[in-house]
Amino acid sequence: AQSVTQPDIHITVSEGASLELRCNYSYGATPYLFWYVQSPGQGLQLLLKYFSGDTLVQGIKGFEAEFKRSQSSFNLRKPSVHWSDAAEYFCAVGPNDYKLSFGAGTTVTVRA
C-alpha cells in the first residue's frame, strides 16, 4: 500500500528565509510524486510533479523538489520565502496519475 508522511505539522519561517518541507513516502515501485499548495478557502494547486528523469524538479512560484529514492523522500524547497507563501502544503504519491494518497499537510506561517 502507498502512504505519505509529512513529519512537520506546522513550520514558521521569516520572510526572505529559506524553506524546506519534508515528505517521506512508502511505495513499492517508482512512484508518481506531487506537491500541492492550498490557501485558506481554496482548492489545491499543483506546485510540481515527478514521474521520471531528472530527480531535481522545478515548479511554479520558485519551488523545487528533489526525489531521493534511497531515502524515499521528496522534499520541497524554496530559497527565499514571500509572505504569500503562507499556506498548507500537501505531498502526494501514487502508482500513476490517479488514486493519489495525500499526506496530512504542513502549514507554513511566514512572519515579517
Partner 1 sequence: DSGVTQTPKHLITATGQRVTLRCSPRSGDLSVYWYQQSLDQGLQFLIHYYNGEERAKGNILERFSAQQFPDLHSELNLSSLELGDSALYFCASSQAEGGYTFGSGTRLTVV
Task: Give yes or no for residue 65 binding partner 1 (CB under 8 A).
Answer: no
Piece in contact with partner 1 (CB under 8 A), picked from 8-16, 66-74, 79-87, 89-97? 89-97
Q: Which of residues 18-37 bind partner 1 (CB under 8 A)?
A: 32, 34, 36
Task: Give yes or no for residue 46 binding partner 1 (CB under 8 A).
Answer: yes
CA dist., res. 103 & res. 6, Å (int): 6
Piece in contact with partner 1 (CB under 8 A), picked from 23-31, 60-68, 71-79, 90-98? 90-98
- Cell numbers linked to 4: 505519505
- Evaluate whether 16 touches 80 at the Cβ level (below 8 Å): yes
Of residues 19 and 44, the one with the C-beta less far from partner 1:
44
Pairing relationship of beta strands 3-5 and 101-102 according to DSSP bridges: unpaired
Piece in contact with partner 1 (CB under 8 A), picked from 20-28, 63-71, 78-86, 98-106? 98-106
Phi, psi dihedrals of residue 21, rounded to the nearest 5°: -110, 130
CA distances from 85 to 15, 50, 58, 71 (A): 9, 21, 16, 27
DSSP class of residue 5? E
Strand partners, 50: 33
CB of 25 to partner 1, least distance (A): 15
* Interacting residues toward partner 1 by CB under 8 A: 32, 34, 36, 41-46, 49, 51, 90, 96-105
